[in-house]
């Protein structure tokens, strides 16, 4: 026991009650109960000594907090428009004030954490239509841009129609909503029939669903594909929700899912002058076990270099995944028009195309890469969600 318990501290009206426990504080509030460790509370002191006022960055060096930090007293007072404030006097001589509203918003109890975080909308071939927006709305209005960014967040795919069919327009679009991610290859790639091209995309062959550049440890997470001209016969686009495919696999064949999340695969893409090479499992999970990164490019996969005992299980899982990806269960097939700009969240959604006849008409697209984080940052800024509320609720 490191804290001297002060018993219950009831706020006026009785809506808030605090109890000091061994190592943590128990808070009863209007919407339930929350608990916070003393180390966490001390670390998140928002006073002008512990935070840099102009930037909100932490000035307090967390490692300097005494091991046995604990409050010596706790009081709750209803002060002003910030609502009830909790004041803690610490055994290191410091004092901290927290707005109860801020504490409740930062509750990290298991129940609250399970409900937090945005869940994507997984989809398959029954998706009625790829979310589609007008170029003028996305680049010219806040509402239009937010709707587009919401679609990227929820579905991982969107089409922007009416994009001017001008060279490098895709780069201008990228810079309007975020930043271009440069790679070893051109900043703006041209995809058209090219007998000397370095990639199967430069042939008129079918392109199976894939994600680009799994040959980077961190592949580009957004890809923009701008169809300047699309008049050839065939060449329909495909999009496939890789997260939906692997979530179904996790349910239907958990052992296959486990193998794909564990066994590393190497990928390479090179040209005369450049080389990219990386090794990672096809599925990478976040700490809560949700799929975070999905990479799939059968054409770029290198000879498997796995433990002997994993090879059979890997091929079972990998071939099952491939058959699912190539089936009509998941693939959405649609013909883009000249001026369409397709965006995919490329750690999630695969793109591909059917074969086309290069003699039947022009087909030219330009693509650039971006990072999903930058698009979500733009979304938060447009919504005004990017400046955190101080722990003490700010100046009243």
Name the helix (H) or strand (E) containing 365: strand 363-370
Rounded Cα–Cα distance for residues 219 and 134 (Å): 28
| Contacts of residue 64, Cβ cutoff 8 Å, sequence gap at least 6 | none
CB-based closest residue to Fe ion = 212
Q: How do 132-134 and 157-161 pair as beta strands?
A: parallel
Q: Closest Cα to residue 118, out of 156, 165, 89?
A: 156
Q: Which of 212, 241, 340, 371 binds Fe ion (CB under 5 A)?
A: 212
* Candidates 96-104, 209-217, 269-277, 372-380; binding stretch for Fe ion (CB under 5 A): 209-217
Q: How far is CA 232 from CA 22, 199, 228, 242, in A?
A: 72, 20, 12, 28
Q: How far is the CB of 164 from Fe ion (least distance, A)?
A: 23
Q: Which of 92-100, 151-159, 206-214, 383-391 is the region at the interface with Fe ion (rule: CB under 5 A)?
A: 206-214
What are residue 186's phi and psi, to 5 degrees?
Answer: -55, 150
Rounded-to-5 percentages of helix, strand, coil across the chain: 25, 30, 45
* Binding flag, residue 169, Fe ion (CB under 5 A): no
- Give min distance, CB of 308 to Fe ion, in A: 33
User: For helices 242-252 and 308-325, what crossing angle results, to 10°?
Assistant: 120
Tell the smallest beta-carbon distance from residue 344 to Fe ion (Å): 9
Backbone angles phi, psi at 196, to 5 degrees: -105, 5
Q: How far apart are the first and last CA of the chain?
A: 35
Q: Between 212 and 371, whose beta carbon lies closer to Fe ion?
A: 212
Contact 121, 354 (CB under 8 A): no
Give residue for tokens 């990672």: 280
Q: Which stretch binds Fe ion (CB under 5 A): 207-215, 258-266, 299-307, 316-324?
A: 207-215
Closest distance to Fe ion from the beta carbon of 351 (Å)? 6
Question: In the stretch 80-119, what mask flags binding to Fe ion with x, by CB under 5 A?
Answer: ----------------------------------------
| Residue 370 CB, nearest approach to Fe ion (Å) | 14
Give the whole-angstrom CA distance, residue 151 versus residue 148.
Answer: 5
Residue 274 beta carbon to Fe ion: minimum distance, rounded to whole angstroms: 16
Q: Could you tell me the smallest distance in angstroms from the CB atom of residue 210 to Fe ion?
A: 6
Binding site for Fe ion (CB under 5 A): 212
């Amino acid at each position: 026991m490191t804290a001297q318990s002060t018993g219950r501290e009831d706020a006026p009206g009785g809506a808030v009650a605090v109890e000091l426990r061994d190592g943590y504080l128990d808070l009863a509030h209007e919407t339930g109960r929350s608990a916070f460790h003393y180390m966490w509370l001390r670390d998140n002191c928002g006073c002008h000594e512990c935070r840099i006022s102009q930037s909100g960055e932490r000035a307090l060096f967390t490692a300097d907090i005494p091991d046995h930090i604990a409050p010596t007293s706790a009081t709750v007072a209803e002060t002003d428009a910030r609502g009830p404030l909790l004041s803690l006097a610490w055994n290191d001589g410091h004092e901290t004030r927290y707005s109860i509203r801020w504490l409740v918003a930062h509750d990290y109890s298991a129940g609250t954490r399970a409900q937090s975080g945005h869940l994507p909308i997984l989809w398959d071939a029954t998706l009625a239509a790829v979310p589609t927006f007008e170029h003028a709305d996305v680049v010219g209005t806040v509402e239009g841009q937010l709707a587009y960014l919401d679609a990227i967040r929820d579905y991982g795919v969107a089409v922007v129609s009416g994009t001017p069919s001008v060279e490098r327009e895709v780069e201008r679009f990228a810079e309007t909503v975020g930043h271009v991610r440069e790679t070893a290859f051109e900043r703006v790639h041209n995809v058209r029939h090219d007998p000397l091209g370095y990639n199967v995309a430069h042939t008129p062959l079918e392109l199976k669903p894939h994600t680009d550049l799994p040959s980077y440890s961190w592949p580009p997470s957004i890809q923009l594909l701008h169809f300047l001209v699309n008049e050839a016969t065939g060449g329909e686009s495909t999009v496939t929700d890789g997260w939906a495919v692997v979530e179904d696999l996790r349910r239907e064949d958990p052992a296959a899912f486990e193998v794909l999340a564990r066994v590393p695969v190497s990928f390479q893409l090179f040209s005369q002058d450049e080389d990219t090479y990386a090794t990672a499992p096809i599925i990478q999970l976040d700490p809560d076990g949700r799929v975070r990164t999905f990479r799939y490019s059968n054409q770029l996969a290198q000879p498997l270099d796995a433990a002997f005992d994993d090879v059979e299980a890997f091929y079972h899982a990998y071939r099952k995944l491939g058959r699912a990806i190539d089936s009509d269960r998941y693939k959405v097939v649609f013909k883009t028009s000249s001026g369409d700009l397709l965006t995919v969240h490329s750690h999630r959604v695969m793109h591909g195309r059917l074969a086309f006849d290069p003699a039947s008409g022009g087909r030219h697209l330009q693509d650039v890469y971006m990072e999903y984080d930058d698009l979500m940052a733009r979304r938060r800024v447009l919504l005004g969600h990017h400046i955190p509320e101080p722990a003490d609720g700010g100046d009243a």
